Amino acid sequence: MSRNLRIDAARLQDRLARMARIGALPGGGVCRLALTDQDREARLLLVAWMEELGLEVVVDAIGNITGTRAGTEPGPPVMLGSHIDTVATGGIYDGTLGVLAGLEVVATLDEAGIRTRHPIAVAAFTGEEGARFAPDMLGALVHQGALGLEEARAIVGIDGTTVGAELDRIGQAGPAPVGTERVRAFLELHIEQGPRLEAEGTVIGAVTGVQGISWAEYTIEGTSNHAGTTPMAMRHDPGLVAAALAVLVRRLAGEIEGQVGTVGRLALEPGLVNVIPARAVMTVDLRNPDEARLQAAEARLGDELARLAAAEGVTVTRRTLARFPPKLFDDALVGRVEAEARALGHSVTRMASGAGHDAQAFAPNAPTAMIFVPSRGGISHNTTEYTAPEHVEAGANVLLHTALALAMPVAGEGGA
Ligand SMILES: [Zn+2]
């Protein structure tokens, strides 16, 4: 009976460990920024595994990799997807778990001789992290037509390269068209990246949606001058306004319900000990599960920053790096994840995601849901990121049974 079907936990751990060697950092963790040589090596390994499993592998024009297991009927697949790029100080589970668990689902069905009515596709999307090229979820957005291919290829990264040039350089601009692909349903297994499941002692999170994200880069320009001879009252110091903006972000997060805010990058130029800076360039990351509150945070930040800039006599320009409204997942599919987790004997809770994920690009177009497993200490985007093997196994089994319910085992076939 397919009800008793379980993934091979050792095989999944082995694949995770082998992928973790690519871009491995000396003290643990990985650095596989999107479209680097390390990313290319990981992609080639993934494609080799897909081919071993007999999947039909397609690389599209933005470098998304899809391996499809045919169904007994043609049509859009049930897609199990995530990403294999990482931040510069990444862990080995973020993204990679969702892709490799997808392979494990396929391998388990193959071994049990179970065919499904609808195809099952395993996908790895280009540049989910946004750490090298913003916005995040880049490949998934292009896949679902929310971002144009040429627009995406023209994006300039933190090192001055473009998405298009790097895709071409590593040979990952595939021949398949992109932007019109439809899926029957989309599922993503991912580590929680937060502390809640561990704190509650719950094994599975049935994710109800992703909070809204607003990323902006501010360039503040003033007057560079001598640190010793310029009277305090005559200064136009971008560094002071940058520092005040960082304090403002923290204050707004305390005042608006559900709000979080972060200044992740701040550079002063020329960056010398005895020179009032000419310019400050900084990023602000604002998130809220409620769109109206997120807009309120953006508006208040804009107003108060304008006052700070006027008081100091500096100019401010703002550039949007990414902006996504909150996305709600499919309620019935979230319920299915819950039911499959319970049927497998796991504790489960409904929760919103604090982080952005590839799944949100699919939510407007197809029934979409995510499965979370606990992150030790709530830590991720960090080399010490860790999820216990029994939690990895539990999440992959929930993915297996949810995918199977959606793809529909064919009666009369072995095990079905
Ligand atoms: Zn991720």
User: 174 C-alpha to center of ligand 1: Å?
Assistant: 23
User: 173 C-alpha to center of ligand 1: Å?
Assistant: 22
* Chain centroid, CA 275 distance in Å: 39
pLDDT of residue 179: 87
**pLDDT digit of tens for each residue in the chain (416 aa)?**
588 999 999 999 999 999 999 999 999 999 999 999 999 999 999 999 999 999 999 999 999 999 999 999 999 999 999 999 999 999 999 999 999 999 999 999 999 999 999 999 999 999 999 999 999 999 999 999 999 999 999 999 999 999 999 999 999 999 999 988 899 999 999 999 999 999 999 999 999 999 999 999 999 999 999 999 999 999 999 999 999 999 999 999 999 999 999 999 999 999 999 999 999 999 999 999 999 999 999 999 999 999 999 999 999 999 999 998 998 999 999 999 999 999 999 999 999 998 889 999 999 999 999 999 999 999 999 999 999 999 999 999 999 999 999 999 997 544 44
The pTM of this model reads: 0.84
User: 33 C-alpha to center of ligand 1: Å?
Assistant: 12
User: 100 C-alpha to center of ligand 1: Å?
Assistant: 13
pLDDT of residue 415: 45
Are 333 and 401 in contact by the 8 Å Cβ rule? The answer is no
- Cβ count near 46 (within 10 Å): 23
Tokens of 154: 């023209």
Residue 16 host element (H or E): helix 9-20
Residue type, 127: G
User: 83 C-alpha to center of ligand 1: Å?
Assistant: 6
Are 278 and 224 in contact by the 8 Å Cβ rule? The answer is yes
User: 189 C-alpha to center of ligand 1: Å?
Assistant: 10
Are 351 and 289 in contact by the 8 Å Cβ rule? The answer is no
User: 363 C-alpha to center of ligand 1: Å?
Assistant: 16
User: 54 C-alpha to center of ligand 1: Å?
Assistant: 26
Beta bridge partners of 79: 121, 186
User: 190 C-alpha to center of ligand 1: Å?
Assistant: 7
Beta bridge partners of 280: 220, 268
User: 383 C-alpha to center of ligand 1: Å?
Assistant: 14
d(CA 10, CA 108): 12
